[in-house]
Structure 1
């Protein structure tokens, strides 16, 4: 970098006026220059002690590799000169014993938080069972009979699969209601656990 460019930037910073920096990371990589999008994304990330994360490193063997770790502390790197700085304020522990050469302090924009997946839609083998309410039908035949008793004018073939009065061809009323119940359950769960 030329001295004139640094002097102009220092003068602009001292006078609280904006200045422009042109940077080519391939020509002269620097860990002190953080892309704005990466920084902004990191500032919206909530971190806490015990939080799991991934971090990418370049290795000689296989190029770029992700290592897993845990946040063990959050504190200023230098509380006197850089109070409340985000620069390397996360103290971390690494999962692998071979990660001994990894830094013990990192910046928030260097990590990728690992979020634990919630089952928004339960796996197919999981069907939540709620306690049976008194007076409520127990199985599909009971539901169908309850509809026939409550609405006799619909006829005996209403709700039967592939009948002319069927709501959806190929589905019985009970199958259609089960689909609606599953959709409502998934919608309720997605409301409780918003996606990240």
Structure 2
């Protein structure tokens, strides 16, 4: 294996009744420092990346698939059970709730094991059964392999979402699954504590 990139933080998956779906990455530790990014899939299927810098946009766009990339100021954070996102055309105000049953099971695992690429490669078929559309291991763009080590998971219970200044509709399941890469987020809106490891072959 060649280079290794590690991203530590949270991923939120939000769906709306209009069909707009958003995946928000909030990274406390990464090769690019602390930053947030958003992947948006419109009802038409059009996929957009909202990224805060050219370096971040370049890396993410070479790892995932998008129809459009926009560089915008991205502010996203979790505090006291509230998720707030302000990213160019997208704004989200959401409330997180109880830990999911799957989150409780994941939290019980030793973190060192839960984020290890070998473990994630082995359990990926089980992850797909536990959360439809989700995978913990797969191939990505530019000859890379990617591993998602989720160590906690909470429901999103309500959300107000606007896109291009218009109401995007009420909170809804993330259906159809997003198609930025080999894995989607769980169908039910949620926030995951995650370590993402990207390896270059």
TM-score range, shorter chain: under 0.3
Higher-strand-fraction structure? 2
- Greater RCO (CA < 8 Å, at least 6 residues apart): 2
Structure having the higher helix fraction is 1
TM-score w.r.t. the length of structure 1 is 0.23
Q: Give the TM-score of the pair, scaled to structure 2.
A: 0.23
Could you say which structure has the larger radius of gyration? 1
